[in-house]
Structure 1
């Protein structure tokens, strides 16, 4: 076939229509027209509202996981914050409770010290304050250890009182500490006087007899004028305890027909089991002036004859 007879036009399959540049210009002009028209006349507002209405369920479903994650994060954050606040509140409550207990304890100590000072003001005997350190380790005696000893001038036989009355007597002195035998010890005895009747007697320790931590008036006649509630004070006739210090109060009187003596139980006025601060008095014998020499000499000559 001769070359001049060939058809040089492209087949219909490769025909592209308008060029790309012309399409860009046409669509750009259309887009600019629509933007200006929508800005001035809002012609696309109904279409936009319709599309938003149609897409709302899809948006709602798409936001559910995000909102759920936010709620979960907020829940765990609130839970952690609540736990921290609860822990802080518990710690603060414990601290306030400890402070309240300390305030109550300090108030009790202050009240006891005031009473001790009031009792000290009524006693003319020289004295010095001491603190109870601990109870003695011997289970068969009733003793406590105080923080004063020979270095502070403590002597054996010195009476010891607390804010309520006679607590005991110093029975052993060390350089820095001393042992005090309580009046409820079974080997301890103290002369007392009934403030109601003026009758004198002797109170003995009765730690394991009728009542633990009590005293007993022994050798009292069965018809003795002693009643429950009578206050017993030191008589001062032993040369150790000053007169007038509270010792005990009669708790129970047993009058039996088979014996001529009454069994009288007394409760100590001092806090024998809970004393903290005490006052150590000088022995009464140390305050008695020595016997004059001019009187002692004739007495010695008379004894020789």
Structure 2
């Protein structure tokens, strides 16, 4: 048989279906549709929460060897550190006792002044202890995941602090865990107060300056503003989220460029997420503040109209008798 007459097409068993280009176009359109649906209509939110709940035991099982190794290393290497800390604690005990006495005296004096001026006591912030599970794998954001979720009463916008100061804010809550956006994230912002000048400002995350020893910046600050390297920044509490007075960061550089209206102010946060293990999730201050005046006015009952013939405030009996 001549070779030109042979059928060179593969049998139906070896056919691969649609072409590679068709598959690429189909899956690209499907991915684009899912991204738009998740952004606009939040369709994949329940699915994401379900998958996160299902994978949570697997994540804990994978983290078990790492936790065991860390615990063993800390146990073996912590004995010497414990002895050194004990010696330092004994040396500092005398000074701490004196400062504690001063603190008690100042607290009692402050309480008497509050009662004298009829000021309200500060709001008591409730918190939930949590442990760091892992750091998010997204290279374009700065986020961590903690082991407390909706079943523990965690809500979005809850401040997260460690022993040094403010660490970040809860931005996504799952049933068994939560996602925390750190202050150094590009989308993070916190209102701050300069403790030296008592001037309020807003600190934003600046991931590009982490390598330079910063991580945050104060934006929209005038070039002639009273700012100095070393100024401490704390939360101002005007946003209804962060309690006032929590340490946030410290100014490390002020660049007043000639011809520019605003100065570039670099801030280093006091909290170090790379070395933290245990955090405290605080309740947002908005849940503890009293209602706004307009909300209280709408919820209050309407004033009662005086009965006919009844005297109004400021109306004398003489005027009533003249009307009769």
Mapped pair 1:103 → 2:103: no
Q: Is the contact between residue 206 and residue 212 of structure 1 (CA under 8 Å) also seen in structure 2?
A: no
What residue in structure 1 maps to residue 297 of structure 2?
Answer: 295
What residue in structure 2 maps to residue 220 of structure 1?
Answer: 221
Residues 171-210 of structure 1 correspond to what in structure 2 (within 5 A)? Answer: 171-209=171-209
Q: 1:162 to 1:123 in 2, by over 3 A?
A: farther
Which of the pair has more CA radius of gyration? 1
**TM-score relative to the length of structure 1:** 0.58
Q: 1:108 to 1:151 in 2, by over 3 A?
A: farther
Q: CA deviation at 1:273?
A: 1.9
What residue in structure 2 maps to residue 161 of structure 1?
Answer: 161
Q: Secondary structure in 2 aligned to 1:249?
A: strand
Q: 1:135 to 1:234 in 2, by over 3 A?
A: same
Cα distance in 2 between the residues matched to 1:255 and 1:214? 19
Q: CA deviation at 1:275?
A: 1.2
Q: 1:255 to 1:98 in 2, by over 3 A?
A: closer
Residues 1-305 of structure 1 correspond to what in structure 2 (within 5 A)? Answer: 99-103=75-79, 124-209=124-209, 211=212, 214-291=215-292, 295-296=297-298
- Which stretch shifts more, 167-176 or 122-131? 122-131
**Paired residues, what number?**
196
Q: Secondary structure in 2 aligned to 1:296?
A: helix
What residue in structure 2 maps to residue 28 of structure 1?
Answer: none
Cα distance in 2 between the residues matched to 1:228 and 1:149? 39
Q: CA deviation at 1:209?
A: 4.0
The C-alpha deviation readout for 1:90-138, integer Å capped at 9, x for no partner, is xxxxxx9985414367799999xxxxxxxxxx98300011111110011
What residue in structure 2 maps to residue 16 of structure 1?
Answer: none
What residue in structure 1 maps to residue 61 of structure 2?
Answer: none
Q: CA deviation at 1:178?
A: 0.3
* Superposition RMSD in Å: 3.3
Cα distance in 1 between the residues matched to 2:278 and 2:153? 18
Name stretches of at least 5 consecutive residues in structure 1 with no aligned partner. Answer: 1-95, 112-121, 301-305
**TM-score relative to the length of structure 2:** 0.55
Q: 1:263 to 1:148 in 2, by over 3 A?
A: same
The C-alpha deviation readout for 1:156-214, integer Å capped at 9, x for no partner, is 00000000000000000000000000000011000000000000000000011473661
- Which stretch shifts more, 207-216 or 279-288? 207-216
Q: 1:232 to 1:98 in 2, by over 3 A?
A: closer
Cα distance in 2 between the residues matched to 1:182 and 1:222? 28
Q: Secondary structure in 2 aligned to 1:181?
A: strand
Q: Is the contact between residue 160 and residue 170 of structure 2 (CA under 8 Å) also seen in structure 1?
A: yes
Q: CA deviation at 1:289?
A: 2.5
Name stretches of at least 5 consecutive residues in structure 2 with no aligned partner. Answer: 1-71, 89-121, 303-324
